[in-house]
Amino acid sequence: MAVALDSPVADFQAQATSGQQVQLSALQGQQLVIYFYPKDSTPGCTTEGQGFRDHYPAFQAANTLVFGVSRDSLKSHENFKCKQEFPFELISDKDEALCQLFDVIKLKKLYGKEYLGVDRSTFLLDKHGVLRKEWRGVKVPGHVEAVLAAAQDLHNA
């Protein structure tokens, strides 16, 4: 069952870059942005990640951690993170547990073929782990700025 808006997100543990184990319950007291993207080192995903990187100090000022999530391996994530100098961790969701929790696996079409892929989506959790805002089917231009504004509003509320 996917998490609903204004509901607590079920506690989860996930492997991330820099050898980190991310556990939701251990992050209480900080807001979280969890953004799902289809694939490391592809044009849209790179642009989106760079946006979060470039605005990261403003997210930090709003007491907000940022995590990127895709089904890529940790090795792929480490390369992507290093190459783009991301100051935040990337979570490897190879078993799709987080993708299922947030319901971001959708039927997509590419060159006439259908496949199950990650729908570019972003979620904002408050400092108690409650889902406060979601963006689905994200278009990259202007998206990071919208997420930042929502994180700042939530922080100042």
Residues classed as catalytic: 45
User: Model confidence over 110-152: pLDDT tens digits?
Assistant: 888 898 889 999 999 999 999 999 999 999 999 999 999 999 9
Q: Is residue 99 a contact partner of residue 118, using CB atoms and an 8 Å limit? A: yes
User: Model confidence over 3-44: pLDDT tens digits?
Assistant: 889 999 999 999 999 999 999 999 999 999 999 999 999 999
The answer, yes or no, to whether residue 78 has pLDDT greater than 70, is yes
The residue whose two tokens read 């251990």 is 26
The answer, yes or no, to whether residue 52 has pLDDT greater than 70, is yes
3-state secondary structure 54-120: HCHHHHHHCCEEEEEEECCCHHHHHHHHHHHCCCCEEEECCCCHHHHHCCCEEEEEECCEEEEEECC
User: Chain centroid to CA 31: how far?
Assistant: 12
All domains of the chain in start order, with CATH = 13-156 (3.40.30.10)
Mean pLDDT computed over 47-70: 98
